[in-house]
Structure formats: C-alpha cells, structure tokens
Amino acid sequence: MKFTKMHGCGNDYVYINGFIENVSDPESLAIKMSDRHFGVGSDGIVLILPSDTSDFRMRMFNADGSEAEMCGNAIRCVGKYVYDNKMTESKVITVETLAGMKKLELTVEKDRVTYAKVDMGEPILAPGKIPVVSTLEPVIGELVVVDHQAYALTCVSMGNPHAVAFVDEITDSHVHELGPKLEVHEKFPQKINVEFARIKDEDNIEMRVWERGSGETLACGTGACATLVAAVLNGKTNRKAAVDLIGGQLIIEWDEATNHVFMSGPAVTVFEGVW
Ligand SMILES: N[C@@H](CCC[C@H](N)C(=O)O)C(=O)O
C-alpha cells in the first residue's frame, strides 16, 4: 500500500489515497503505522476519499486508533495532496469531514501547494455540544479539579473538543502530567484536547497541546483555533492573532461578521513509501 508522510507545523500524519487503496481496518492500521519505533512514525493516519457532497472527504485517526471529527493541520495537507497529485486543478476545494464541509484556498508555488487557508466554520460554545459537563455558556473559566488543585479552563469545540488553560509560563509538567489527566477527566464525556496558552501580546499567543488520542504533538490546528476563540472570549487578544507552536506558526482569525474561524498555515510533504 502506497502512503505519503506529510506534516503541518510538525503535526505529522501518514496519508493514504483511498481512491486507489482499500483500508479495511483504519483503527488498527493507525496504531501500527503511527508507532515511531516499529511503524512509519506519526501522530496518526489520514484517509483521502471520494465524497458525495464535497470535492473530497477525509477521515482522520489518532495514534491510538480513535477517529477524530476534524484535524486542522491534516486538512491543509489533504489540500496539498490532492492538488500536487493532480486529483484537482482547482485552488479552491471543499473537503467533507465528520465536523462538516470545510473550504480551502490553496497557495501554489512552482506547481506545488505550500500554504492553505481554511474556513473552519463557527466555533461551538454550548457545553452539551462541546461536550463538557458545565452550567456555564460559554464555558469560560470552568474549574476542573486535578490532584486537589483547580484549573480554570475555557472550552470550545471546533468540531472536536478543546479545553484551553491560560498560564504565565508553559511547562513540561503542564503538558505531560496535567494534559493526560485532563484528557480523560469525567467532565469531558468524549475526552478532550488540552491546550496550554501564554499570551505574548494581543496579537501573539504561544501554545502547546496534549492531544486526545495522540499525546503531545508539535502543533494542533483545531487547537490553535480553539485557543484564539478562548483568548477573545477572555478579552486577552484581538480577533486575529499568530499562534506559535513548537513546530511552526498558524495565523488564526475569528471573523466577527460571519462568526467563522479562519486558519492559515503551511503544508509539507516529507516522503513517500510503501507499507
Ligand atoms: N492535530 C489535529 C487534531 C487531531 C485530532 C485530535 N487529537 C482529536 O482527537 O480531536 C489538528 O491539527 O487539529
């Protein structure tokens, strides 16, 4: 089976062209391929498929085999894959996901996609739909207790669930110790992606993530969108800001007129292989 390893800001997935390859058990394939010692090594796998409603369809599986509704870094790479492999000639495409249809505008240099802007749709703020057990709406500063300490979290869904903690300094212990405990906390019935964010100024945010199903990754596109929305809800930034992640930078804008969030960032092919 042919595959392509790609990344967006270091958030790396194995991409499989479902137009020509048949994957019968993507959950276990994701676990095997993602293994960084015995597999290809990735944060998960992404299937690129035909769609009845959009130009293409994507399915995304975390490194533990769980399927996620949406992936911001992966959808930019899907745009690059289909354009670079001449599956479309259009620089504006739509992609069906479990979180609805997303529209991409592709930037092409020397016949290859280098960058993409994605309309990520409206953020979901109702607690029951994120989902989070909370009486607040929007869920700003929900106190979640871990090891007898309360953490104030702002919760946002970008189709997949996120909890954002604003901190003065992001530490390894936040990400590696608190992250996994929050991921499976009883307040989050479908588990949660956890973002730790430091406000640099009103136009710049630093963020690290503990992802549901994959652990720490070098970047999270939906997480960066959720963080910008959380920062605006808390009055900490403007509606457009740069989010600096370990693996690179994403530009996120929460447009007031449409209520849509727009994410712009790079898409990179690393190598192709045969499994
Ligand atoms: N890295 C992704 C998000 C991947 C899915 C996430 N771990 C989940 O389970 O919701 C991104 O770039 O958005």
Which fold would CATH assign to domain 127-257? Diaminopimelate Epimerase; Chain A, domain 1 (3.10.310)
Task: For residues 234 and 138, give the distance between their C-alpha atoms in angstroms, rounded to a whole number.
Answer: 10
Relative to the CA of 66, which ligand 1 atom is closest? 9
Q: Are 212 and 192 in contact (CB under 8 A)?
A: yes
User: Which amino acid would we find at residue 157?
Assistant: S
C-alpha to C-alpha distances, 14 to 5, 41, 148, 211, nearest whole angstrom: 5, 8, 39, 17
Residue 227, ligand 1, Cβ within 6 A: no
Q: Cα of 12 to ligand 1 centre, how many Å? A: 11
- CB atoms < 10 A from the CB of 52, how many? 6
Place of tokens 């290859």: 112
Q: Cα of 146 to ligand 1 centre, how many Å? A: 23
Task: For residues 118 and 103, give the distance between their C-alpha atoms in angstroms, rounded to a whole number.
Answer: 6
Residue ranges of the annotated binding site for substrate are: 11, 62, 72-73, 160, 193, 211-212, 221-222
Relative to the CA of 225, which ligand 1 atom is closest? 13
Q: Quick check: do 2-121+265-274 and 127-257 share a fold? A: yes
Which fold would CATH assign to domain 2-121+265-274? Diaminopimelate Epimerase; Chain A, domain 1 (3.10.310)
Residue 97, ligand 1, Cβ within 6 A: no
Among positive and negative, which fits the CA dihedral 27, 184, 98, 207? negative
Burial of 219 (0-12, 13-18, 19+ CB in 10 A): buried
Residue 62, ligand 1, Cβ within 6 A: yes
Q: Where along the chain do its domains lie?
A: 2-121+265-274, 127-257
* SS3 category, 202: coil
ipTM above 0.85, yes or no: yes
Question: Can the peptide bond before residue 50 be classed as cis, meaning omega within 30 degrees of 0?
Answer: no
List alpha helices for the chain, DSSP H: 26-34, 72-84, 172-173, 179-183, 221-233
Residue bearing the CA closest to ligand 1, atom 2? 71
Active site residues: 71, 220
Residue 12, ligand 1, Cβ within 6 A: no
Relative to the CA of 222, which ligand 1 atom is closest? 13
Nearest to 267 by CA among 132, 116, 126: 116
The pTM assigned to this predicted structure is 0.98
Residue bearing the CA closest to ligand 1, atom 3? 71
Per-residue pLDDT of the chain in tens (275 residues, 90 and over written 9): 999 999 999 999 999 999 999 999 999 999 999 999 999 999 999 999 999 999 999 999 999 999 999 999 999 999 999 999 999 999 999 999 999 999 999 999 999 999 999 999 999 999 999 999 999 999 999 999 999 999 999 999 999 999 999 999 999 999 999 999 999 999 999 999 999 999 999 999 999 999 999 999 999 999 999 999 999 999 999 999 999 999 999 999 999 999 999 999 999 999 999 99
Residue 213, ligand 1, Cβ within 6 A: yes
